[in-house]
């Protein structure tokens, strides 16, 4: 076998990224069977088309995983985060999802998610130092 190297590449190209992602998807499918996999991305835009926030997620194996939810300070506190979550949860239900997974930090939006029916199932203390990272889930009805 020829030598194998480990190379630091902070900006991985699309082809390499796709190869690695496809590899784990193939591995997972072999372990649990083929599962539907959909992007679940929603963008908040102004009337002029300016991006004011968004929700980035993925649907896999009957779950919606919300990876990022962000709303610009300019329009924060006006219910747009809830609108983004409502849209993502509705999309997930349409695709047969039964649950949602997400995480948030102690300096972010834990109360927002708990008011929406999410429950903490895990916590990492001191991540980052002096803060906590919370993992939450919700059952969709």
Distance, CA of 92 to CA of 89 (rounded, Å): 5
pLDDT at 139: 98
Structural domains in the chain plus CATH codes: 37-139 (3.40.630.30)
Q: Which of 36-45, 77-86, 107-116, 120-129 has the lowest mean pLDDT?
A: 36-45
Report which of 86, 85, 82, 90 is spatially closest to residue 66, judged by C-alpha positions. Answer: 85
Distance, CA of 137 to CA of 98 (rounded, Å): 11
Predicted confidence band at 133 (pLDDT cuts at 50, 70, 90)?
very high
DSSP 31: H
The answer, as to whether pTM is greater than 0.95, is no
Range 112-139 average pLDDT: 98
pLDDT at 37: 84
- The pLDDT tens digits of the residues spanning 13-33 come to 889 999 998 898 889 888 988
Q: Which residues pair with 53 in a beta bridge?
A: 44, 71
**How many other CB atoms are found less than 10 A from the CB of residue 105?**
14
Sign of CA dihedral 35, 39, 106, 112: negative
Three-state DSSP at 57 gives strand
pLDDT at 42: 98
pLDDT at 108: 97
Report which of 69, 65, 67 is spatially closest to residue 137, judged by C-alpha positions. Answer: 65
**How many other CB atoms are found less than 10 A from the CB of residue 62?**
14
Spatial CB neighbours of 33, under 8 Å, sequence gap ≥ 6: none
Provide the mean pLDDT of the chain: 95
């Amino acid at each position: 076998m020829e030598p194998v190297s480990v190379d630091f590449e902070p900006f991985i190209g699309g082809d390499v990224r796709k190869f690695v992602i496809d590899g784990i998807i193939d591995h997972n499918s072999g372990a649990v069977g083929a599962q539907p996999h959909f992007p679940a991305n929603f963008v908040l835009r102004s009337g002029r088309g300016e991006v004011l926030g968004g929700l980035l997620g993925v649907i896999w194996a009957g779950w919606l995983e919300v990876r990022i939810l962000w709303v610009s300070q300019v329009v924060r506190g006006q219910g747009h985060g809830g609108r983004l979550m409502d849209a993502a949860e509705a999309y997930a239900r349409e695709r047969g999802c039964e649950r949602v997974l997400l995480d948030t930090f102690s300096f972010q939006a834990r109360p927002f998610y708990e008011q929406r029916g999410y429950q903490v199932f895990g916590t990492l203390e001191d991540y980052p130092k002096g803060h906590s990272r919370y993992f939450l889930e919700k059952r969709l009805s």
